[in-house]
């Protein structure tokens, strides 16, 4: 049986993969790079995808171990799921809107902070 801590580690690994990939992508776009000139594109895309998957796997695994899911998901999990979808979608933006790269550099971590806050404080 996979333990709570293993699920937590998978959750954190997913977060690390997603945010390092996002930073790489934003910096590339900030330097005027395009999809075609990104020689690490495959690596970034795979890391992003695997990272998103691990966040979800670890998240739902922890929910099961903590016995939190009883007749529906609590509000803080819905908030995290929305943030997860938005962070997944952010990947498309650096090349499409290169002018937004500096804002994206801050927006990504801000959303991550919000998701972490929701997980730690479970406000609703």
Compute the distance between CA of residue 42 and CA of residue 100 in angstroms, rounded to an integer: 23
In terms of Cα–Cα distance, which of 79, 89, 87, 88 is closest to 115? 79
Q: Does 74 bind ligand HEM (CB under 6 A)?
A: no
Question: Which secondary-structure segment (H or E) carries 110?
Answer: helix 101-121
Nearer to ligand HEM, 9 or 34 (CB): 9
The residue of the chain with the least Cβ separation from ligand HEM equals 59
CB of 29 to ligand HEM, least distance (A): 20
- The nearest distance, CB 31 to ligand HEM, in angstroms, is 25
- Euclidean distance between CA atoms 10 and 94, whole angstroms: 27
CA distance 81 to 115: 9
Q: At 51, give phi and psi (nearest 5°).
A: -60, -45
* Residue 84 touches ligand HEM, criterion: CB under 6 A: yes
Tell me which H or E stretch contains 46: helix 41-66
Q: Is 107 in the site for ligand HEM (CB under 6 A)?
A: no
The site string for ligand HEM over 27-66 (x = CB under 6 A, - otherwise) reads ----------------------------xx--xx-xx--x
List residues near ligand HEM by CB under 6 A.
8, 11, 15, 55-56, 59-60, 62-63, 66, 77, 80-81, 83-84, 87, 112, 115-116, 119-120
């Amino acid at each position: 049986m996979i333990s709570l801590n293993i699920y937590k580690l998978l959750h954190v690994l997913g977060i690390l993969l997603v945010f390092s990939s996002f930073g790489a992508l934003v910096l590339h776009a900030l330097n005027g790079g395009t999809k075609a000139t990104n020689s690490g594109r495959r690596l970034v895309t795979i890391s992003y995808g695997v990272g998103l998957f691990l966040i979800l796997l670890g998240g739902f695994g922890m929910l099961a171990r903590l016995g939190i899911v009883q007749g529906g998901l609590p509000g803080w999990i819905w908030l995290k799921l929305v943030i997860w979808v938005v962070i997944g979608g952010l990947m498309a933006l650096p090349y499409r809107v290169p002018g937004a790269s500096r804002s994206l550099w801050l927006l990504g971590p801000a959303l991550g902070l919000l998701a972490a806050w929701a997980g730690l404080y479970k406000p609703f």
